[in-house]
Homo-oligomer: A and B are copies of this chain.
């Protein structure tokens, strides 16, 4: 049930140590995410939308409208990528972009009725896939993992290079 894995380290010429690549937080997070996304990708592809576009309109579905900075942060997308994506999503009729009347620098992005309709359609499959994942992992264990990931976030974010 529990796995007592190898915490092996590689001895390098000069004496310092390097963790085995496979057993490393960046790789482990990446591989776990790929395993999860492999289950969503068919549904995303069938709906002719990318993973990132899906995140963006889903955030907008929750918020209704948001400025580009907040949207980028919530969707985990860098500003340059978001700029390009907004054109695509606007051309598809899922969002509308307008200037903030209070602040001429900001852009306000809102989801359209068409965008909401798309979410309503696709989220059926999405929810089913997520339920399947939850069943495979166990609801409690999944919640625990989400807590741990949030712990990592809280612990590593902000304080730049102390210690």
CA distance A58 to B58 in the complex (A): 37
Q: B32 and A152: CB pair below 8 A?
A: yes
**Per-residue 0/1 for A139-156: is the Cβ within 8 Å of any B Cβ (1 yes, 0 no)?**
001111111111111011
Tell me how many chains of this kind the complex includes. 2
A42 nearest CB neighbor, chain B only: B161
Q: A16 and B156: CB pair below 8 A?
A: no
Interface flag for A45 (CB, 8 Å): no
Q: A5 and B147: CB pair below 8 A?
A: yes
Report B-chain residues with C-beta under 8 Å of the C-beta of A120: 12-14
Task: Count residues of A near B (Cβ-Cβ below 8 Å).
Answer: 70
A30 nearest CB neighbor, chain B only: B76
Q: B39 and A156: CB pair below 8 A?
A: yes
- Which listed residue (B13, B37, B123, B163) contacts A26, Cβ 8 A? B37
Interface flag for A132 (CB, 8 Å): yes
Q: A2 and B36: CB pair below 8 A?
A: no
Interface flag for A92 (CB, 8 Å): no
CB distance from A12 to the nearest CB of B (A): 6
Q: A123 and B156: CB pair below 8 A?
A: no
User: Can you list 26 residue pairs at the A/B interface with Cβ under 8 Å?
Assistant: A5-B146, A12-B120, A14-B120, A19-B127, A20-B62, A25-B36, A25-B130, A25-B133, A25-B142, A25-B146, A26-B33, A28-B146, A28-B149, A29-B29, A29-B33, A30-B33, A30-B76, A31-B149, A32-B149, A33-B33, A35-B156, A36-B152, A36-B156, A136-B163, A137-B152, A144-B148
